Amino acid sequence: MNYYILTLFPDMVMDGLNTSIIGRAKEKGLLSIEAVNIRDFTENKHNRVDDYPYGGGAGMVMQAQPVYDAYRHVEEKIGKKPRVIYMTPQGKTFNQSMAEEFAKEEELVFLCGHYEGIDERVLEEVVTDYVSIGDYVLTGGELPAMVMIDAISRLLEDVLHNDTSAEFETFHDNLLEYPQYSRPETWNGKKVPEVLLSGHHANIEKWRREQSIMRTVEWRPDLIENAVLSKKEKQFLDKYLEERKKDLH
Ligand code: ADE
């Protein structure tokens, strides 16, 4: 995977992505990240990349020309039209399925805006995907691009040590992950659930799935409708919901 980030703050993204697992994956050659400074492409003698909005209003707008030239620089390097993701709170909300989908690409270009946005004409020309990381407004697209790169990269082959760990985790089957415990067996007067000490793998698996189901109902009820459940698990869910209803009354 080769990532290109079109930004006014290349240091911010490179510093953030050079550490930890993503930094190590970069060193191992599993992925590459290049931050392209949009300001390097300005034709303005004062190096400006923004101007007042036509029609008036607050703030400044990033101009089309430097953004387009920065994009063309990347497109020429790649040798084909890449997928270009514009980070904007107006976009489709990023989720795990989108991360899986983007992880299949060989190149991804992230376009990070600042100020009040980017001239619409260049967005129409280059952007293939409009993506938000949630319903709140940030000062720029750099943090959202970093969030997406982190979520996508950990799905790439060999980036995580344990190749099954991305499979059995939160959002798999549209369920939250079950609770985890490690040593000691008793901490602060609290014991580890008995079943986990039993060594009985089928029972452990059943307990974990049920914990996932209950946790999803309590914390993310919006997900449970689309959870992938066996017939027995569906019965467990129905019973749990039934008893919960009684408790609430
Ligand atoms: N730019 C500003 N806020 C954003 C958000 N929530 N998601 C993506 N890009 C943004």
List the residue whose alpha carbon is closest to atom 7 of ligand 1: 132
pTM above 0.85, yes or no: yes
Q: Give the number of the atom of ligand 1 that is nearest the alpha carbon of residue 133.
A: 7
- Per-residue pLDDT at 115: 77
If asked whether residues 144 and 180 sit together in one domain, one would say no
What's the CA gap between 208 and 205, in Å, rounded? 5
Measured CA to CA, the distance from residue 139 to residue 121 in angstroms comes to 22
- Considering the domain boundaries, does residue 183 fall inside one? yes
Place of tokens 């030239």: 69
- How many structural domains compose the chain? 2
CATH number at residue 131: 3.40.1280.10
Q: Express each pLDDT in 29-70 by its tens digit.
A: 999 999 999 999 999 999 999 999 999 999 999 999 999 999
Residue 187: how many other CB atoms lie within 10 Å:
11
| Residue minimizing CA distance to atom 6 of ligand 1 | 89
Residue-level pLDDT at 172: 83
Residues 122 and 185 in one domain: no
Q: Which of 90, 122, 153 is a domain's end point?
A: 153
Ligand 1 pocket test: which of 7, 88, 118, 147 has the largest number of ligand atoms within 8 Å of its C-beta?
Answer: 88
Q: Please report the atom of ligand 1 found closest to the CA of residue 131.
A: 8
Residue where a domain stops, chosen among 121, 153, 185: 153
pLDDT at 165: 63
Residue 140 shares a structural domain with residue 53: yes
Tokens of 237: 């869910």
Q: Which atom of ligand 1 is nearest to the CA of 113?
A: 1
9 and 130, same domain (yes or no)? yes
- pLDDT tens over the chain, length 249 residues: 999 999 999 999 999 999 889 999 999 999 999 999 999 999 999 999 999 999 999 999 999 999 999 999 999 999 999 999 999 999 999 999 999 999 999 999 999 998 789 999 999 999 999 999 999 999 999 999 999 999 999 999 999 976 556 666 788 899 999 999 999 999 999 999 999 999 999 999 999 999 999 999 999 999 999 999 999 999 999 999 999 999 988
Are the beta carbons of 209 and 233 closer than 8 angstroms?
yes
In a domain, 160, yes or no: no
Residue 193 near residue 55 (C-beta atoms within 8 A) = no
Average pLDDT score, the chain: 95
Question: Which CATH number belongs to the domain containing residue 187 in this structure?
Answer: 1.10.1270.20
Nearest CA to ligand 1 atom 2: 138
Q: Which domain holds residue 36?
A: 2-153
Look at the block and give the residue holding tokens 């020429």.
Answer: 76
> What local confidence, expressed as pLDDT, does residue 196 receive?
98
- φ/ψ of 74, rounded to 5, equals -70, -45
**Nearest 5°: phi and psi at 197?**
-95, -5
Q: What is the 3-state secondary structure (H, E, C) of the chain?
A: CEEEEEECCHHHHHHHHCCHHHHHHHHCCCCEEEEEEHHHHCCCCCCCCEECCCCCCCCCEECHHHHHHHHHHHHHHHCCCCEEEEEEEEEEECCHHHHHHHCCCCEEEEEECCCCCECHHHHHHHCCEEEECCCCCCCCCHHHHHHHHHHHHCCCCCCCCCCCCCCCCCCHHHCCCCCCCCCCCEECCEECCHHHHCCCHHHHHHHHHHHHHHHHHHHCHHHHCCCCCCHHHHHHHHHHHHHHHHHHC
Distance between CA atoms of 107 and 84, rounded to whole angstroms?
Answer: 9
Residues 6+ apart with CB under 8 A from 231: none
Q: Which atom of ligand 1 is nearest to the CA of 139?
A: 2
pLDDT at 38: 98
162 falls within a domain: no
189 CA → ligand 1 middle, Å: 44
End-to-end CA separation in angstroms for the chain? 53
Verify whether ligand 1 is closer than 6 Å to residue 58 (CB atom): no
Are residues 195 and 124 located together in one domain of the fold?
A: no
Count other C-beta atoms under 10 Å from residue 117's C-beta. 17
CB of 7 sitting under 6 A from ligand 1: no
Does ligand 1 lie within 6 Å of residue 53's CB atom? no
In a domain, 42, yes or no: yes
Q: Are residue 212 and residue 99 in the same domain, yes or no?
A: no
